Structure 1
Amino acid sequence: MTDFVKALNSKVESVQFNWDSMKVEDIGNGTPQGGGYILTLDGRINNNKDTEFTLGIPLNYDSNEVPDKLVIYEMQPIRILEGNVWDIYE
């Protein structure tokens, strides 16, 4: 997962995950049974408390699944706090 985040931006030197932010949620797809589950995890980069991002790992079968293959989505891009506004980290 660290390599995935580093690949998002060449300025990322280190990645810190907030393991307390990890949660599993239902994915809606417009049908009564829903679209499965997703595990989300927040983090920061370069030991900077004014950065944030969110990753997602789909769980296709149930909320306790251990995926056969690790698939990672960028749920929220890397952002940095500039004053009172979260801007895309460039």
Structure 2
Amino acid sequence: MNLTKRPEQKVTASSSKKVVQKSEEEIKKEQIAFLKEHEQEIVDYVRAQNSKIESVQIDWTDVRWSDGGFLFPDYSIEVYGTVNHIEDSGWSASMPINDDDSIDLKKISIFNHITIGEEILE
């Protein structure tokens, strides 16, 4: 999957007094804040993928944005993490980004196998 930066975008929100423009960096910070507010939903989704998963850790230092591609044609935000506090475990989940830059948690999906070491967790 080709991960590239979403084109520079400014969102305009109008109020009764002034127009506020948000930079791409501000939008990304808001998106991460939203995901952190909904962390339990992400954790619950990953845990539901396999009964052997007792705990889910999210690596907030590894959040990526994708402009789509063959498998994921829309903009999305991707989060990564581990399971059961095992350092060499891994999972990754993707959530589409709507046209208004909001994240659609209802369409979360695991886009790689959940692994421990080089083995797929089955």
**Normalization by structure 1: what TM-score?**
0.78
Identical aligned residues as a percent: 33
Q: Deviation above 2 Å: which 4+ runs of structure 1?
A: 67-70
2:57 to 16, 26, 39: 16
- Is 1:70 the counterpart of 2:106? The answer is yes
Structure 1: gaps of 5 or more residues: 30-34
Could you tell me how far apart the structure 2 residues matched to 1:49 and 1:69 are? 26
Larger Rg: 2
Counterpart check, 1:45 vs 2:83: yes
Partner AA of 1:12 in structure 2: I
- Say whether the 8 Å CA contact 1:15–1:47 is kept in structure 2: yes
TM-score, normalising length: structure 2 = 0.59
Structure with greater proportional strand content: 1
* Shift, 1:25, TM fit: 1.1
- Alignment: residue pair count: 80
Structure 2: give runs of 5+ residues left out of the alignment. Answer: 1-41
The amino acid across from 1:36 in the alignment is: D
**1:88 match:** 120
